[in-house]
Amino acid sequence: MADSTGILVLGELENSSLTSTAKELLAAGRILADSLDQKLSIGIVGADLEPSAQDAIAHGADQAYLVNNALLSEYQPELHLAALSHICRQAGPSIILMGRTESGRELAPRLAVRLGVGLAQDCLEVSIDPDSKRMIALRPVYGGNAMAAVVCTGTPQIASIRPKAYEPLEADPSRHGETVSLDLDLDPSMARVKLVERVEEESEGVQLETARIVVAGGRGLGGPAPFKDLEVVAKLLRAGIGASRAAVDAGWVPPPWQIGLTGKTITPDLYITVAISGASQHMAGCSGAKVIVAINKDSEANIFKEARYGVVGDWKKVLPAFTETLRELVE
């Protein structure tokens, strides 16, 4: 791809609409495109894509490449990979951005192989080097203890970006862009995996990924029972509830509650931690929190280095008083 130009975001759909991650990627792509004075495009695959294309343009895209095919309405790795590869070859971008989502973890490396280039995985930030005009991708290494600046030598340059690393741009319905529909022959025989059954798990309360306030507990709580007290606080604050990996590994709370390098990434306005030490792996998942409040009896705990406000004390004494004050304020 010697004549490659432009930034291409490969967006995902959920319930026939652009995901929040896709909109975050458009925000990252807009920064790169403006730095290079190039066009920002998005590639979308599925069925009935026109509304999603217009939504993408409203969120910063200049152009949308669409592969409409009923076989792509449900996620299937081989079929989606074929469609995304087709978009990349037709668009000829210099930079490709993908989300490090469940499907992105599977598709990004395979797409890079098909295009014969490397991949910068799990990035938190992307920018353009003013001298070389190449993309610089920042990603955590050594369990989140350090950040590495990665430069891709091949073209197109591909980076998968961690969800919640960027804030989506505010939608501008007045923006206009070009929509390009691409034809691609797909056959069901290309699929090596068959969806047998879909089981939806019901979730209560505010979702961690979108919560503006999050309350989380760690190993220092000593067992599963104290998480009931945290749920009371979360309900009063209308907050999401989470946990450290240690609490999840101990079986005290379900895996979807885990926050951290191997869990969920959160970017709340307020993050209240109770009995969480603040290991680097955990902090990697909440570094985007605007304000962190820590309650921990260990004054040397790493969490206090990251927190704006901290309470050194036994949570058994601090939390009841905090809860009672919240009740007075809320009720």
Give me the residues of the chain with pLDDT under 50, please.
none
7-190 and 208-330, same CATH topology = yes
Distance between CA 302 and CA 292 in Å, rounded?
12
| Domain covering 208-330 in this structure, CATH number | 3.40.50.1220
What amino acid is encoded at 120 in this protein?
A
Domain ranges for the chain = 7-190, 208-330
Distance between CA 326 and CA 322 in Å, rounded?
6
Written as one string, the DSSP assignment of 137-179 is EEEEEGGGTEEEEEE--SSSEEEEE-TTSSPPPPP-TT---EE
Distance between CA 241 and CA 227 in Å, rounded?
9
pLDDT at 2: 53
pLDDT at 1: 57
pLDDT at 254: 94
pLDDT at 192: 85
172: closest CA among 43, 302, 307, 30? 30
Q: Is 142 exposed, middle or buried (0-12, 13-18, 19+ CB in 10 A)?
A: exposed
Distance between CA 291 and CA 306 in Å, rounded?
9
Distance between CA 249 and CA 95 in Å, rounded?
38
CB 264 within 8 A of CB 208: yes
Q: Is 262 exposed, middle or buried (0-12, 13-18, 19+ CB in 10 A)?
A: middle
pLDDT at 33: 97
pLDDT at 210: 83
Distance between CA 8 and CA 199 in Å, rounded?
33
7-190: CATH topology? Rossmann fold (3.40.50)
